[in-house]
Chain A
């Protein structure tokens, strides 16, 4: 798992971190914004409500004073509709009492018509004629006792303000209305205002202030502010504006605060609420949230990572460890990570996959085995393996065997009767093994067989085979081979050797390596010319050919079987008694070597193909009529011995008995002698001796041909063998002896030639 790539945990951690940070920031911002708005809202609410309280208190206090004054007038009956004092005098009286410049007094009857006033010009005014004044008509409903209106501009003098209040007369005959001037009102408020704010606070640190019309602070929670101009505090008041709970934020004495201003009369009531306190809850909540969220997210985060590592990463590592073992070749390893549903399913799937893979591999291996078996069967079928190979031939015995190392080998052998008296035999070792080796082997075998059967000389077979095998030899395979053409009549072997191991010749129970010039291997180099070499076999000689699978067979300690041991095995010495020849000596020899190899390797695996071919030459004594040999000599007595020797050689070849040989020798001597002495008279000529060997029963047919004087020796009478020595003529015995000792003697004169044939069974 050593890789530069990031792990699952790291990737998830990073993405989780990003998600958490975004969520965290969003929630904080949202909380901050919401709480800020709520704080502001509640701050304003608090300030406004406190300012309102103070304003109302002030107004109510003033109003109450007016109303109690009117109550006094009405309840005592000082003023009624029936008893109307002189309003002007009454006004002056009241002015002096309240210390004001003027005071307006009006009396209305029960119809809402003004009947008396400190301003006589108002008498006759119908209250229902104006919006403001019609409000007072409520006092005529029979139940409402008092009624007040907020201060408004005086209709008579727009430089002054007036506050109207009304009181119903007890008898329902009308109502009294008093208009108080603003100055008086202000005075009252100023008096009240000096006390109203002193003991009031907004929250813990907020406070109230009252300022006069000239912006002087007349009352404040903080005594030190008294007497100062409101502008000094930082609050800018517009002298022209009517402040009706005007809200704004500004620094008040350096402290950022919510400020609400309300005008009561010409007074200003101010509520100041420091932002710090207003935002206390918000700040506290946000702080708490930061702490809480950090804790919660942190715990969640660490927990998740630990869990992830435990549940995912550790399991993945386990699965990987198992997979590594599986890819390493152990298909029996099972993945058993069963902790979670997903890993359980993964384990099951992997195991199923490996199982089916295993099955496929087994099937594939079986198929390859099957294919190799087929190839082996094909290879074995192309190697001739029926023995005896030529049951109707008794000039030789032949046996061959091939044991492939792997299912299919690169070795092969072959043998063929090229004509009636020539046996071709081949042993070869292809450089490749298995199927390619076998294919090359089959090609090589077919090519060589083809060339041999086309009747080419042995060296030409290899020269041509090399040419053909070099063509298109892309696999660059080659083969060593040893090809022999054995003349069954003469025992002469014509050999072509393409770099093959020297065969062993066993003669009289003694084994020797037969070292011939090695040519280059076949398919090795284009344009290679091979040379014929010869080897003379004698009757009884055994030729043993093999591939290096024999000499290079190894035991478990990697010791080679070796050429020495092979030679010893074939020497039929004490250690290796000559095998029985019941089923042919060559077969026994091959089996002997195979057995010795098995003993030598002691169970070690066979590393190379083991192939051998063995021929025992028995000599030609069973030839057909065509197996003629002849010699033509000058017909002179000195050549009689040469004629005899010529025939003797053939007789020896067929293992002729002493008696028969002697008789035949005599016959040849007599007949050739006759031709030499008489056929050509005093002249000279030639005589031909033809020897024909007939089998079943083995018979020698010897024909003497001369073109001399026609003469039938058989026409002459036989001599009288009962005559005494004295009586018998010297000579005339030769033809008689021949007739006596041969099985048949035939004379013929044909085409100007004397043809005399003798036959003798051997």
Chain B
């Protein structure tokens, strides 16, 4: 990177103080962290918490995958198996994926990217984290007490009447954590509306900020429905109020409608932030303005809106009306369109660029591959007769892991590597990072591609014992999971190493254009020494009339500093 950072690349308005006074050195006690209202520190608190949960969820699935090497249910008991995959689902969805990018990088970067000092409600922001922690404690308590075996979907009447697990504590954990999502969403929307720095018009917002905006809207509108659903389920389980029990006049399908009314938009809570991250990184490493900025914005808004009207595609065989199936199938095809346009636009952004292949970009290429693959298999599942065959099989498991892990988690790692120098002020070892990115891509495909095949052959999900003809696919999948596990553990090592030994990053190691790069790394407590002023659209990686040049000097040219 040295040849890029070298040269006349000084920001005259950021006096070089070095690492003396920044948000990390602003207070060194544990208390200063636990009562902080600094969005950057709260982002890091979230990052540490979700890392713990990521490894809890991963260990649960490691045991499951080991058990699945053989067709016989031999490693753990049936109940333990059911509790492990339930734990994996609950933890990965609500305690890792939902908060992953928004609560960490969103919290840290959003105010920086719009030139604000903090979020609109800093104390509410800290409250969100404490709510997350309280929800997390319920969930950990539930694990310690003996676990829950309903699957992360809590389908009634199994959850409300038949399960012997700790359903209510688990639901309470998710319920409380939901409020953390709602408050974060509220905070982000208010921040974006009210705290943009002078000149930061709506259509000058970086796409990551738009991603946070649309994600927040979905969080605020969908999460209350989840809260309500879990409350009703708990009321039936605890007080015996028949809401979903058909024998007493309830309707078991009502639960599924309510649950998916949240849980399908929740997929967009996971993927919209990933799209935002990828948009930042594609344009930075291609040195090219993002292709079709306004379309990218409209696509995200479109996904957020249409995403609310596709939930019934989870219920094609559940017993809903065939006409409803048609409507939901149609809407599912419609929601695929904006995602496809985004894929085309990212591809077009590379056209006539000056592309370099640092690890964040490699993670994004991985994202593009896996997200496109997951999206196309989504079309298969949106087709009613195919979904009848494939729903509740490993085909669905593979599909949503391609989107949520191949897509969102790849983007999470891309964001981690892209913004790590900004957050910590240190560079990591690029060779190791590239190796981890490539390893993750191959490990992921080895884990999940075989699941498409066995899913099409009819292997049902959530099966502890299975027919022997599926064994080869499970063995491949488990082998892939081992590779994937190593690829997830690697960054923990070289990133920790970089904290002590890494080269100093400087304010803008990638020569990127966003406002977050126009302050020191790590940023000072109040983000900017002088409030920045925005005079142009984002992503000025080259001038209007010229393409990007070899030396990456275009930014200076565009900003008038050359």
A and B associate: no
List residues of chain B with CB under 8 Å of any chain A CB: none
